[in-house]
């Protein structure tokens, strides 16, 4: 275990950072430490190391210790304004110093008169997983006395985490927790899991960090997490210290599981869907073909064919002055610019689809990234302008990513550049144009393209994108996939020779760009584009028709929704209704509970987007792996078995009543049905029904709203015949049902291959629930991920399920598959499978049946 002591740099009164009249220091934006009001004007080194910053104004100094930790001493507040008056540096940047060496002399009177405050922060910046302990209690301190100790320092063997820090008798209760796991995410800790983890880390007071490859990252910083370069199979340690350290570590572990779940959900959707899948996470990259004359070979980012005119867009360099006028003002300007960018991005996200929202969420994380912001604030403190500081902070993160071997992480560079330019434009009082005009049938030709540039382009006129550089898994490629725009990357510098306006053929199925095609080739390519459009229109048109199996049995195909944009996508893909609105996702990122009016507005928008189609609105399923910031739940040893779903709702009746009141007021009333999550017995249903009855009487609603229960626990499945008496329908949540049946965490990275909903034990429970529904003449649906699994579809229908609710993009393929199935064949298959020994055997039987039907997708 390695500990470093930080000593008082001068005599004075030692206090806390809260006493520094500057939100940056008091808010610990730069790091943690203490503050001293000096009584002498000789600043000595608080530790040994190298002087890394000592601006000409000599009002601050930072030392990098042998362990790579930066300790900053900033004399007073706003003292940069003195321009060096009253300060005298005694060493130069780059010098090696020992603890106690004299660094700066300053004239207390001059500085006191010119500064807002003399309170001097002594900080560790950034904290990067470090912990401070043995903090000196407020009171007089003499130069050279210990101010605090730094623990959690990376050593040659890794990071010391397992031993909790010794507690000072007077220190507040500090806890430490750690967990080590193997990352099984296909692409390692790339931007999305990093963003997910950073968000989770921010929800806790504990200082959490992640370590891998002997490096440590602040868990709140997406940039720092990505820069760890964690790939599939790498060992990752998660550690935290602070009052809620165990909960923080547990939540980060759950975050990795959630990322894994999202990854496999995206995989399922893609497997089942033929329509462009907006949940696609990484388009497939194909190798670059050999080039011929007039043909450039590239990497396929989004497949497709297009014929159009080569078009370039201009990108303006944003100039920034290096030096700032006044650090306070520069800081305030940077803050304001970030606020403006945030508001703008949030507005764009609100009107975009799921993919755009996810990408903007990643950009918002970069915008708030503590590592980037700390670096920018440091530069501002050293006299740089807000723009210069922001650009250099971003560029520093970019260099860290570029040094990694992982091309996926290097592809995040475009996102950082995008965020950089948003903020620089905002500082200049401008914003990125929302609409960049294009000529008809434009093939965009460029070296690279930022996500916000793509979304600003006129989609109706853009037929393809060709980049000399870029990556097939960059966010801009993911966006292009969601917008269904064929895209080639890595075409090389040859594309610079293409004349503006030249007709080109983009064959993003073959990975080629024909730069000077002859007339017959153009004609042939246009015909291919035409027939592709017709095929797609046919699949979509068929998806709009009500779905029946080959023998005429009616099967409803609904969509799972999280917001109004999903609802529009669901309708476009032929969903016959919403089988599961995960209402918790509408309000997850809030600091306060949504009001009845806010909820009503959100639900009503979704109902309107669905038109006459039914909307099954699930009551907030919070707790477990879905915490809400505004609903502090007690720490639990095993949250998956704790207060979640209906249990949380019954424990917080006010929240439940507000939601129910909003849901009951959605119009048209008959279209809305309510669904209760995580039921284990009929008493829970009766309790909720009782509240609904009361509210219906209060509001004056004559017709009882239809009510359903989720079958997510083995108890509910086994009790289904009793439960169904109290409800109008059942909906099987196979994700949770599988986890609770197999006693395998649904997101456990090492159990991912075994947490299979086609396990015969799970199928038996599905059979019990479906059988209860059939006996009572009531609908039994499946809304868990298994509903979009093509091998599962015949089994579920064979067991008696008559409604499947899947991600919107999967609806057309599921409908097409159902139309090819006969229920009797499905029933026979299901009966055979119930007696098999493993999910592998079940899958093999289902695959055999589909193959015999010619369904080989």
784 binds ligand PEP (CB under 6 A): yes
Residue 12: strand, helix, or coil:
strand
Q: Answer yes or no: are the C-beta atoms of 606 and 579 closer than 8 Å.
A: no
Query: Interhelix angle for 792-799 vs 823-834, to 10°?
Result: 90
Nearest partner of 121 among 80, 62, 74, judged by Cα: 74
Residue 29: burial class (beta carbons within 10 Å; 0-12, 13-18, 19+): middle
734 binds, among Mg ion, ligand PEP, none (CB under 5 to 8 A by kind): ligand PEP
Q: Cα–Cα distance between 221 and 236 in angstroms, integer? A: 16
Residue 712 Cβ vs Mg ion, minimum distance, rounded to whole Å? 5
Options 222-230, 276-284, 728-736, 818-826: segment touching ligand PEP (CB under 6 A): 728-736
Q: Cα–Cα distance between 670 and 702 in angstroms, integer? A: 11
Residue 264: strand, helix, or coil:
helix
Nearest partner of 593 among 525, 648, 656, judged by Cα: 656
745 binds Mg ion (CB under 5 A): no
Q: Answer yes or no: are the C-beta atoms of 11 and 37 closer than 8 Å.
A: no
Which residue's CB is nearer to ligand PEP, number 37 or number 736? 736
Q: Cα–Cα distance between 674 and 274 in angstroms, integer? A: 31
Phi, psi of 545 (to 5 degrees): -85, 145
Options 399-407, 447-455, 732-740, 815-823: segment touching ligand PEP (CB under 6 A): 732-740
Options 112-120, 403-411, 441-449, 731-739: segment touching Mg ion (CB under 5 A): 731-739
- 793-to-373, 379, 819, 830 alpha-carbon distances in Å: 49, 58, 11, 10
CA angle 130, 134, 139 (to 5 degrees): 125
Residue 826 Cβ vs Mg ion, minimum distance, rounded to whole Å? 25
Residue 735 Cβ vs Mg ion, minimum distance, rounded to whole Å? 5
736 binds Mg ion (CB under 5 A): yes
Mark whether 268 is an active-site residue: no
Which residue's CB is nearer to ligand PEP, number 446 or number 676? 676
Tokens 């023998």 — which residue? 551
Q: Cα–Cα distance between 404 and 187 in angstroms, integer? A: 14
**Residue nearest to Mg ion as judged by C-beta position:** 736
Q: Which residues ranging from 573 to 602 are in contact with ligand PEP (CB under 6 A)?
A: 580, 582
Q: Answer yes or no: are the C-beta atoms of 699 and 720 closer than 8 Å.
A: no
621 binds ligand PEP (CB under 6 A): yes
The first and second tokens of residue 170, run together, are 């007077």
Options 311-319, 366-374, 728-736, 829-837: segment touching Mg ion (CB under 5 A): 728-736
Q: Cα–Cα distance between 401 and 411 in angstroms, integer? A: 9
Residue 439 Cβ vs Mg ion, minimum distance, rounded to whole Å? 49
Options 38-46, 132-140, 243-251, 734-742: segment touching ligand PEP (CB under 6 A): 734-742
Report how many residues bind Mg ion under the rule CB under 5 A: 3
783 binds, among Mg ion, ligand PEP, none (CB under 5 to 8 A by kind): ligand PEP
DSSP for 513-536 reads: EESS--HHHHHHHHHHHHHHHHHH
The first and second tokens of residue 195, run together, are 């963003």
582 binds, among ligand PEP, Mg ion, none (CB under 5 to 8 A by kind): ligand PEP
Judged by CB under 6 A, which of 125, 281, 311, 735 binds ligand PEP?
Answer: 735
15 binds ligand PEP (CB under 6 A): no
733 binds ligand PEP (CB under 6 A): yes
Task: Choose the catalytic residue: 47, 466, 578, 783.
Answer: 783
Q: Answer yes or no: are the C-beta atoms of 549 and 796 closer than 8 Å.
A: no
Residue 730 Cβ vs ligand PEP, minimum distance, rounded to whole Å? 12
Interface mask (CB under 6 A) for ligand PEP, residues 704-723, using x and -? --------x-----------
Q: Cα–Cα distance between 287 and 841 in angstroms, integer? A: 35
Interface mask (CB under 5 A) for Mg ion, residues 687-726, using x and -? -------------------------x--------------
734 binds ligand PEP (CB under 6 A): yes
Interface mask (CB under 5 A) for Mg ion, residues 401-420, using x and -? --------------------
Options 33-41, 515-523, 681-689, 731-739: segment touching ligand PEP (CB under 6 A): 731-739
Q: Cα–Cα distance between 773 and 77 in angstroms, integer? A: 70
Which residue's CB is nearer to ligand PEP, number 697 or number 761? 761
Report how many residues bind ligand PEP under the rule CB under 6 A: 10
Nearest partner of 341 among 357, 363, 309, 369, judged by Cα: 363
Pairing of strands 131-133, 102-106: unpaired
566 binds ligand PEP (CB under 6 A): no
222 binds ligand PEP (CB under 6 A): no
Judged by CB under 6 A, which of 418, 736, 756, 803 binds ligand PEP?
Answer: 736
Task: Choose the catalytic residue: 190, 377, 475, 759.
Answer: 475
Judged by CB under 6 A, which of 47, 212, 783, 792 binds ligand PEP?
Answer: 783
Q: Answer yes or no: are the C-beta atoms of 612 and 587 closer than 8 Å.
A: no
Q: Answer yes or no: are the C-beta atoms of 46 and 99 closer than 8 Å.
A: yes
Nearest partner of 730 among 777, 696, 694, judged by Cα: 777
Tokens 């200049």 — which residue? 428
Mark whether 179 is an active-site residue: no
Which residue's CB is nearer to Mg ion, number 152 or number 269? 269
Options 226-234, 696-704, 727-735, 819-827: segment touching ligand PEP (CB under 6 A): 727-735
Which residue's CB is nearer to ligand PEP, number 614 or number 733? 733
Judged by CB under 5 A, which of 733, 749, 798, 800 binds Mg ion?
Answer: 733
Pairing of strands 158-159, 87-89: unpaired
Q: Cα–Cα distance between 172 and 149 in angstroms, integer? A: 15
The first and second tokens of residue 15, run together, are 């206090």
Residues that bind Mg ion (CB under 5 A): 712, 733, 736
Residues that bind ligand PEP (CB under 6 A): 580, 582, 621, 712, 733-736, 783-784
List, by residue number, the catalytic residues. 475, 783
């Amino acid at each position: 275990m390695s500990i470093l002591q930080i000593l008082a740099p001068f005599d004075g009164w030692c206090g806390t950072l809260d006493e520094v009249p500057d939100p940056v220091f008091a808010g610990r934006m730069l790091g943690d430490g203490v503050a001293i009001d000096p009584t002498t004007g000789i600043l000595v080194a608080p530790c040994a190391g190298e002087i890394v910053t000592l601006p000409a104004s000599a009002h601050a100094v930072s030392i990098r210790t042998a362990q790579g930790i930066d300790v900053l001493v900033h004399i007073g507040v706003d003292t940069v304004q003195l321009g060096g008056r009253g300060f005298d540096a005694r060493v130069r940047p780059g010098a090696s110093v020992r603890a106690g060496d004299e660094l700066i002399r300053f004239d207390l009177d001059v500085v006191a008169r010119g500064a807002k405050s003399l309170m001097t922060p002594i900080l560790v910046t950034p904290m990067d997983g470090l912990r401070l302990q043995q903090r000196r209690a407020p009171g007089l301190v003499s130069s050279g006395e210990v101010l605090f100790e730094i623990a959690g320092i990376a050593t040659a063997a890794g990071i010391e985490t397992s031993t909790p820090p010794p507690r000072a008798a007077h220190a507040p209760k500090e806890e430490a927790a750690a967990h080590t796991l193997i990352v099984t995410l296909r692409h390692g800790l790339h931007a999305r899991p990093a963003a997910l983890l950073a968000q989770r880390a921010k929800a806790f007071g504990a200082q959490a960090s992640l370590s891998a490859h002997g490096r440590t990252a602040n868990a709140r910083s997406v940039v720092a997490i990505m820069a760890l370069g964690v790939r599939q199979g790498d060992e990752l340690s998660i550690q935290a210290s602070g009052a809620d350290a165990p909960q923080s570590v547990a939540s980060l572990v759950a975050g990795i599981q959630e990322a894994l779940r999202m990854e496999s959900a995206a995989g399922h959707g893609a497997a089942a869907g033929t329509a462009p899948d907006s949940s696609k996470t990484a388009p497939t990259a194909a190798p670059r073909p050999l080039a011929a004359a007039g043909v450039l070979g590239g990497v396929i980012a989004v497949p497709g064919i297009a014929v159009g005119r080569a078009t370039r867009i201009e990108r303006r360099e944003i100039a920034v002055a290096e030096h700032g006028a006044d650090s306070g003002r520069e800081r305030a300007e940077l803050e304001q610019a970030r606020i403006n960018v945030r508001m703008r991005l949030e507005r764009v996200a609100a009107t975009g689809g799921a993919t755009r929202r996810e990408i903007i969420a990643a950009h918002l994380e970069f915008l708030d990234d503590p590592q980037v912001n700390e670096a920018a604030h440091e530069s501002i403190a050293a006299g740089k302008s807000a723009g210069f500081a922001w650009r250099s902070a971003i560029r520093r993160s970019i260099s860290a990513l570029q040094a990694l071997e992982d091309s996926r992480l290097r592809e995040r560079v475009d996102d950082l550049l995008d965020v950089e330019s948003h903020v620089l434009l905002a500082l200049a009082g401008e914003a990125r144009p929302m609409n960049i005009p294009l000529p008809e049938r434009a093939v965009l030709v460029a070296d690279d393209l930022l996500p916000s540039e793509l979304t600003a382009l006129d989609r109706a006129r853009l037929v393809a994108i060709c980049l000399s550089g870029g990556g097939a898994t960059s966010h801009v490629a993911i966006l292009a996939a969601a917008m269904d725009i064929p895209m080639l990357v890595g075409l090389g510098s040859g594309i610079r020779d293409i004349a503006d306006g030249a007709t080109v053929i983009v064959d993003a199925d073959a990975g080629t760009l024909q730069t000077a095609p002859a007339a017959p080739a153009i004609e042939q390519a246009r015909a291919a584009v035409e027939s592709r459009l017709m095929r797609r229109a046919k699949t979509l048109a068929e998806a709009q028709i009500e779905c029946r199996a080959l023998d005429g049995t009616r099967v409803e195909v609904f969509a799972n929704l999280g917001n109004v944009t999903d609802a529009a996508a669901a309708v476009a893909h032929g969903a016959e209704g919403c089988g599961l609105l995960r209402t918790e996702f509408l309000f997850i990122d809030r600091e306060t509970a949504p009001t009845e009016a806010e909820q009503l507005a959100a639900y009503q928008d979704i109902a309107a987007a669905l038109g006459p189609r039914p909307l099954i609105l699930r009551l907030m399923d919070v707790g477990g792996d879905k915490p809400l910031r505004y609903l502090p739940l007690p720490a639990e040893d095993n949250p998956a078995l704790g207060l979640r779903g209906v249990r949380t709702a019954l424990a917080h009746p006010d929240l439940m009543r507000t939601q129910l009141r909003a849901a009951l007021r959605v119009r048209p009333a008959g279209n809305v049905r309510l669904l209760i999550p995580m039921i284990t017995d009929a008493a829970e249903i009766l309790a909720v029904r009782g509240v609904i009855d009361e509210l219906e009487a209060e509001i004056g609603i004559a017709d009882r709203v239809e009510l359903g229960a989720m079958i997510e626990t083995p108890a509910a499945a086994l009790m289904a015949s009793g439960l169904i008496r109290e409800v109008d329908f059942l909906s099987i949540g196979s994700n949770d049902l599988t986890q609770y049946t197999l006693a395998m965490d649904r997101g456990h990275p090492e159990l991912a291959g075994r947490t299979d909903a086609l396990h015969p034990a799970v199928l038996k429970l599905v059979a019990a629930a479906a059988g209860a529904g059939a006996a009572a003449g009531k609908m039994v649906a499946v809304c868990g991920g298994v509903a979009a699994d093509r091998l599962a579809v015949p089994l579920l229908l064979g067991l008696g399920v008559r409604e499947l609710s899947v991600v919107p993009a999967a609806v057309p393929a599921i409908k097409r598959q159902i139309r090819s199935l006969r229920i009797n064949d499905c029933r026979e298959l299901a009966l055979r499978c119930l007696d098999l020994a493993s999910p592998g055997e079940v899958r093999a039987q289902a695959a055999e049946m589909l193959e015999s039907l010619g369904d080989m997708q």
